[in-house]
């Protein structure tokens, strides 16, 4: 079992006053060794902390152990950042889903990207979806006692045989019993159905939506999202949706929204933005997404972006999609609830009249093009995702590989804006950095208001 490792110490904080340094390992806090950052935060709330610390020696030599006492006000932050969210072993996934995107990654990427988790703690901290196939009675007791919600559960299908087949795990037929336990305990849970054409669409999707109303009506939301398929998939039964299939999913979800509204007083189920793009349909109005509860899952992002870009009243959610890699690198150990500090290079001055290109994925280009049409000298520059291939077209999965290809032939004297959603700690998923790009780019937060501010003066 590893321990929390200090990666930063705030100036004038209780931690600094007590003598904590970057690189220190916290062996125990008031005699306890936390399993994860959830337990860690509960422990550091105490006013007096007796810490047992291991300090590394010079040149990587074995360190020495210290006893430190921290005195602070109740609830005052300790003033350190720790390296990761989970200090014991991450609970890896024992499913073998044909549609799992981790299995569709090319070789040679960073090792951490291939870790496939099914850990309820990462669900709580980062919004990762868990199938509950590794969930236990002890886990349920902790979640209910500590009120660890919201949680995010991969439903996919409520038919036991279909679900077990999709997960390629017999436990998939029974693990939704834990969903019932969580809901009975008053835990907020959001669900997801990844629709694989010919597997869990059509009648199976209808059955899933019926069963949710019958057995899991307390479910907060249910996102219905399309299969993401890279060119590295080796599963012959996995294929992209046809236009007709995408329209059928949109129609199915819309019909069930009306039923849920009539019975439960809320829509409950929402189709991903990608479905409307695939089907060639207009997005539903912003009001149809309620408070955008599954925004991070790519549901309602287009309408939220548009609303913020046009300066509509009310706060719109941010633009970063969590996805598969949200917790691995570059994420705060405290999870998605922690403040997100984004490097924001100064926007070009208003008098800068250079032609401007907004870099984005193929899906984003279709959303942004009508929004920037009224800005003089501004265009959208779509970046086809050759790195992953297949139907991968979201901006959050853009890599330096493809940006280098597009920018290499782009005019040198133009201005280029890039959404921050495709960067983690300054790196793209393929390991490249902004310095590797052949043109200078300005990184802009992935929300409508930020883009509009970056384009100020171009109307």
Give the CA count within 13 Å in the CB-facing half-sphere of 391.
Answer: 15
CB neighbours of residue 374 within 10 Å: 10
pLDDT at residue number 296: 85
pLDDT at 112: 79
Residues 6 or more apart in contact with residue 409 via CB below 8 angstroms: none
Which residues are bridge partners to 80 per DSSP? 9
The neighbour count for residue 418, using CB atoms within 10 Å, is 24
Q: Higher model confidence: residue 110 or residue 159?
A: 159
Contact between 114 and 69 (Cβ < 8 Å):
no
The tokens of 380 are what? 């959208």
- Is 416 in contact with 410 (CB distance < 8 Å)? yes
394-417 pLDDT, tens digit each:
999 999 999 999 999 999 999 999
Give how far Cα 55 sits from Cα of 2, 12, 13, 61, 306, Å.
14, 20, 19, 10, 50
CA distance 384 to 226: 19
User: Confidence class of residue 346 from pLDDT cuts 50, 70 and 90?
Assistant: very low
Angle at 395 between CA 111 and CA 205, to 5 degrees: 90
Among 55-59, 248-252, 311-315, name the one with the lowest average pLDDT: 311-315
Q: Between residues 437 and 85, which one has the greater pLDDT?
A: 437
Determine the pLDDT at residue 109. Answer: 86
> If pLDDT is split at 50, 70 and 90, which confidence band does 133 have?
very high
Q: Phi then psi for 360, rounded to 5 degrees?
A: -165, 175
Mean per-residue pLDDT, 379-400: 95
- pLDDT, residue 317, reads 58
> Residue 330: what pLDDT?
44
Percent share of the chain, pLDDT over 70: 90
Q: With cut-offs at 50, 70 and 90, classify the pLDDT of residue 58.
A: confident
Of the candidates 37, 10, 39, 13, the residue with the CA atom closest to the CA atom of residue 22: 10
Whether a cis peptide bond, with omega within 30° of 0, leads into 320 is: no
Higher pLDDT, 56 or 172: 172
What percent of the chain has a predicted confidence (pLDDT) above 90? 76
Residue 316, pLDDT score = 54
Residue with tokens 């109307």: 459
Give residue-wise pLDDT tens across range 224-271: 999 999 999 999 999 999 999 999 999 999 999 999 999 999 999 999
Q: Specify the CATH superfamily of domain 6-82.
A: PDZ domain (2.30.42.10)
pTM summary value: 0.88
- The confidence band for 83, taking pLDDT boundaries of 50, 70 and 90, is confident
Residue 347 pLDDT class (50, 70, 90 cuts): very low
Domain residue ranges of the chain, discontinuous segments joined by +: 6-82, 102-281, 356-454
- Structure-token pair, residue 168: 């390629």
Q: Give whichever of 178-192, 304-318, 332-346 has the largest mean pLDDT.
A: 178-192
Write down the mean pLDDT value for the chain.
89
* Beta-bridge partners for 222: 191, 269
Q: How confident is the model at residue 315 (pLDDT cuts 50, 70, 90)?
A: low
Question: Is there a contact between 141 and 183 (Cβ–Cβ < 8 Å)?
Answer: no
Provide the phi-psi class of 202: left if phi over 0, else alpha when psi is between -120 and 50, else beta: left
CATH number of 102-281: 3.20.20.80, 3.30.70.270, 3.80.30.10, 3.30.2020.30? 3.80.30.10
3-state secondary structure the chain: CCCCEEEEECCCCHHHHHCCCCCCEEEEECCECCCEHHHHHHHCCCCEEEEEEEECCHHHCCCEEEEEEEECCCCCCCCEEECCCECCCCCECCCCCCCCCHHHCCCCCCHHHHCCECCHHHHHHHCCCECCCCCCHHHHHHHHHHCCCCEEEECCCCCHHHHHHHHCCHHHHCCCHHHHHHHHCCCCEEEEEEECCCCCCHHHHHHHHHHHHHHCCCCCEEEEEECCCCCCCCCCCCCCCCHHHHHHHHHHHHHHHHHHHHHHCCCCEEECHHHHHHHCCCCCCHHHHCCCCCHHHCCCHHHHHHHHHCCCCCCCCCCCCCCCCCCCCCCCCCCCCCCCCCCCCCCCCCCCCCCEEEEECHHHHHHHHHHHCCCCCEEEEECCCCCCCCCCCCHHHCCHHHHHHHHCCCCCCCEEEEEHHHCECCECCCCCEHHHCCCCCEEECCCHHHHHHHCCCCC
C-alpha span between 357 and 346 (Å, rounded)? 17
d(CA 92, CA 116): 6
Query: What is the chain's Cα-based Rg?
Result: 23
Q: Residue 48 has what pLDDT?
A: 92
């Amino acid at each position: 079992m590893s321990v929390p490792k200090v990666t930063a110490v705030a100036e004038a904080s209780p931690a600094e006053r007590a003598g904590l340094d970057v690189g220190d390992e916290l062996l125990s806090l008031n005699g306890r060794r936390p399993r994860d950052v959830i337990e860690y935060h509960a422990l550091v709330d105490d006013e007096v902390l007796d810490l047992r610390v291991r300090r590394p020696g010079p040149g990587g030599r074995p360190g020495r152990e210290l006893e430190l006492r921290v005195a602070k006000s109740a609830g005052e932050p300790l003033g350190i950042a720790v390296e990761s969210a989970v200090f014991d072993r991450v609970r890896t996934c024992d499913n073998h889903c044909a549609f799992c995107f981790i299995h569709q990654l090319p070789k040679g990427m960073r090792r951490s990207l291939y870790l496939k988790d099914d850990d309820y703690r990462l669900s709580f901290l980062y919004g990762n979806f868990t199938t509950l196939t590794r969930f236990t009675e002890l886990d349920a007791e902790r979640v209910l006692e500590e009120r660890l919600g919201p949680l995010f559960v991969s439903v996919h299908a409520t038919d036991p045989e279909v679900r077990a087949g999709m997960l390629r795990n017999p436990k998939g037929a029974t693990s939704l019993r834990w969903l019932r336990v969580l809901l009975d305990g008053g835990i907020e849970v959001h669900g997801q159905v990844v629709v694989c054409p010919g597997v869990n669409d059509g009648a199976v999707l209808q059955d899933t939506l019926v069963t949710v109303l019958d057995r899991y009506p307390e479910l907060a939301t249910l996102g219905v999202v399309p299969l993401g398929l890279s060119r590295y998939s080796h599963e012959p039964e996995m294929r992209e949706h046809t236009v007709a299939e995408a329209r059928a999913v949109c129609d199915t979800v819309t019909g069930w929204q009306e039923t849920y509204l009539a019975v439960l007083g809320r829509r409950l189920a929402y189709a991903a933005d990608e479905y409307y793009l695939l089907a060639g349909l207009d997005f539903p109005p912003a009001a149809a997404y309620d408070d955008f509860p599954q925004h991070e899952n790519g549901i309602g992002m287009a309408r939220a972006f548009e609303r913020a870009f046009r300066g509509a009243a009310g706060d719109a959610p941010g633009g970063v999609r969590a996805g598969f890699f949200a917790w691995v690198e570059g994420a705060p150990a405290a999870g998605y609830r922690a403040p997100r500090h984004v490097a924001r290079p100064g926007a070009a001055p208003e008098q800068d009249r250079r032609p401007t290109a907004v870099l984005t994925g193929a899906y984003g280009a279709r959303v942004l093009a009508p929004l920037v049409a009224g800005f003089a000298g501004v265009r959208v520059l779509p970046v086809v995702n050759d790195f992953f291939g297949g139907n991968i077209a979201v901006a959050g999965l853009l890599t330096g590989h493809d940006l280098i290809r597009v920018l290499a032939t782009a005019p040198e004297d133009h201005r280029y804006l890039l959404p921050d959603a495709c960067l983690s700690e300054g790196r793209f998923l393929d390991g490249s950095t902004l310095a590797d790009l052949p043109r200078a780019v300005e990184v802009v937060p992935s929300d409508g208001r930020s883009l509009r501010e970056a384009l100020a003066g171009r109307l």
